[in-house]
Amino acid sequence: MADLKISQLTALTAINVDGSDVLPIVDTSATTTKKVSASDVAEYVSASSAVSSAILSKSQDDQFVLSAAIFTS
């Protein structure tokens, strides 16, 4: 899998995202690519003052769905 671009990977639909699934993220302060869990992203979105509006839901089986968000700086 290391020889594939992210855009070449099989898509995971929102209904199948689990809180323990990981996403690639670029840490701009360190200029490196790292991983972040879906639950950590959901926690940030729901708690961050940088998000002025978000529709985030968590299903009973620990899956998160971010339907819309408006980020401010």
- At position 26, the amino acid (one-letter code) is V
Is 19 inside a domain boundary? yes
Is 64 inside a domain boundary? yes
Q: Is 7 helix (H, G, I), strand (E, B) or coil?
A: helix
pLDDT exceeds 60 at position 72: no
Q: What does the pLDDT read at residue 35?
A: 92
Q: What does the pLDDT read at residue 6?
A: 80
Alpha-carbon distance 8 to 1, whole Å? Answer: 10
Query: At a CB cut-off of 8 Å and minimum separation 6, what does 58 contact?
Result: 19, 42, 64, 65
Query: Encoding tokens for residue 11?
Result: 């898509």
- At position 29, the amino acid (one-letter code) is S
- Domain with 12 in it: 6-71
The number of domains in the chain is: 1
Average pLDDT, the chain: 75
Is 1 inside a domain boundary? no
Q: What does the pLDDT read at residue 59?
A: 62
